[in-house]
């Protein structure tokens, strides 16, 4: 009897050492391994994505800096004028908003809401349309674009 207790105690300690000695332990270990692998994969993907964003942002800043440093004085002045015109346009809109009365603000907000709702309605119609309807709309858009291009293109001399 003492031999079987010792043998049982040895198997129990082996089961703790290697979880795959029992079916349940093996399934649990497999599930843990898969979970850890998935967790590591998500962590790696997230790190790659965020470092990609950081690298893209840095590359864009470097490109702008290099373009500025390599540009002529005339190009720099032109870029500064463009920046100033955008800044002045933003300032004008802000000033008009701040100096307008409540009634004018409500009209502006109503116009903005109509545009926002129109965009949402178009998106909803597109998302709810069938494939044939989408193809027909796309064909119509392509025809209009082609007609516009034809109408605005000068013939060769």
Which segments within 1-138 are labelled E, that is strand?
none
Own/partner contacts of 122-131, CB < 8 Å, gap of 24 or more, are none
pTM for the full predicted model: 0.31
What's the residue count for the chain? Answer: 157
- Calpha distance 82→89 (Å, rounded): 11
- Calpha distance 46→39 (Å, rounded): 11
Return per-residue pLDDT of the chain as tens, 157 residues.
444 544 444 445 544 556 567 777 777 888 888 888 888 888 887 777 777 777 888 888 888 888 888 888 988 888 888 888 888 888 888 888 889 899 988 888 888 888 888 888 888 888 998 999 989 988 998 898 888 888 877 766 6
Cβ(134)–Cβ(126) under 8 Å?
yes
């Amino acid at each position: 009897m003492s031999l079987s207790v010792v043998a049982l105690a040895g198997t129990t300690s082996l089961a703790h050492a290697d979880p795959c000695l029992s079916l349940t332990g093996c399934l649990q270990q497999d599930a843990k391994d898969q979970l850890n692998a998935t967790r590591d994969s998500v962590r790696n993907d997230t790190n790659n994505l965020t470092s990609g964003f950081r690298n893209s942002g840095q590359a864009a800043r470097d490109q702008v800096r290099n373009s500025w440093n390599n540009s002529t004085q005339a190009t720099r002045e032109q870029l500064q004028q463009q920046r100033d015109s955008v800044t002045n346009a933003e300032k004008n809109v802000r000033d008009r908003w701040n100096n307008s009365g409540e009634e004018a603000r409500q009209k502006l907000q109503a116009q903005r809401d109509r545009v926002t709702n129109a965009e949402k309605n178009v998106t909803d119609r597109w998302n709810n349309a069938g494939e044939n309807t989408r193809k027909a709309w796309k064909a119509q858009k392509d025809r209009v674009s082609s007609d516009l291009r034809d109408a605005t293109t000068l013939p060769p001399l």
